[in-house]
Each structure stands twice: as C-alpha cells, then as structure tokens.
Amino acid sequence: MAGHDEALVGRLASDIMKLIGSEPRYYQEVAQHFGEYEFQTVARALGRLHADEKLWQDPRGRLCVRGSAFAAKPPTKPD
C-alpha cells in the first residue's frame, strides 16, 4: 500500500503544480480545491513540492511555482 500512497502523492503534487502555475494560491485554496483527498495527502504533496524547492510563498503568502510569471523574483538560497 505504501507504493500506492507515494504514487497518489506524486500525481497530486503534479496536479497542484498545474493549479498553482496558472495563478498563485493560498494553502487553504489548494486544500479546498483538492477536497476529495484526505488533508494529510494534500499536505504530503505540498511538503514534497517544498522539499524539491518547486514552490515558494510570495509577500502576500500565496504559493507560487518557481520560475512562473508570478514568481518573477523568487527568493535566493543563502550561500
């Protein structure tokens, strides 16, 4: 079952990227959009995207995809 869960989280992470790539979203909006999934599964997918540094939060607290038009000045990692 663990492999199935990881595959589900991976698919969900991809769907979240597509959603956020079209417009920045707050965490709550993402959770509501994917309400058919357990919240824990959505949280794991978001956690994976953050760990892979694919997402960042803009000054308003919305999630943005790195490199998207909405993320013109993503934060840089300290050296």
Whether residue 77 is contained in a domain is answered as no
Mean pLDDT of 4-31: 92
| Dist. CA 9–CA 22, nearest whole Å | 20
pLDDT (tens digit per residue) in 63-76:
999 877 766 555 55
Residue 8 maps to which CATH number?
1.10.10
Residue keyed to tokens 């959009």? 33
Q: What share of the chain is helix, strand, coil (3-state, %, to 5)?
A: 50, 10, 40
70 lies in some domain: no
**How far, in Å, CA of 32 to CA of 46, rounded?**
13
Task: Determine the average pLDDT of the residues in 4-28.
Answer: 92
Note the pLDDT of residue 74: 52
Q: Is the pLDDT of residue 52 over 60?
A: yes
pLDDT at 22: 86
* Cβ atoms 6, 44 nearer than 8 A: no
- Structural domain total, the chain: 1
Residue 44 lies in a domain: yes
Q: What is the span of the domain harbouring residue 61?
A: 2-65
Mean pLDDT of the chain: 86
